[in-house]
Amino acid sequence: MLDVARLYQRHFPQLHLHVRPLPNWATRVAAKFIPSLRALVPMLDRQYHHTTAAAETDLGWQQHTPDDTVLAAAQRLISLGLVK
């Protein structure tokens, strides 16, 4: 999530986003008091590895880069007025 936030910060300077990482231990403590953070705790320190090889091979599908995908989604939210 920190990488996504920094990507937004670089590509949308007009939004004046402030990014500060929250250490995992602090997230665990905060989750005891903030219910919306509880779902994040099992994901802390987990490494994710995904592949699109099957879709590319079987369907001839070409994946966009993760950065392009995230930025396109953000741009769409801005164009719809959901982010000001």
- Each residue's pLDDT expressed in tens, for the chain with a length of 84 residues: 889 999 999 999 988 989 999 899 999 999 999 999 999 999 998 888 888 888 888 888 888 888 999 999 999 999 999 987
> What is the C-alpha separation between 45 and 3, in angstroms, rounded?
15
> DSSP letter string over 3-62?
HHHHHHHHH-GGG--------HHHHHHHHTT-GGGGGGGGGTT-------HHHHHHH---
> What is the C-alpha separation between 27 and 32, in angstroms, rounded?
9
Structure tokens at 41: 């705790």
Does the pTM exceed 0.95? no
Query: Residue ranges per domain, the chain?
Result: 2-79
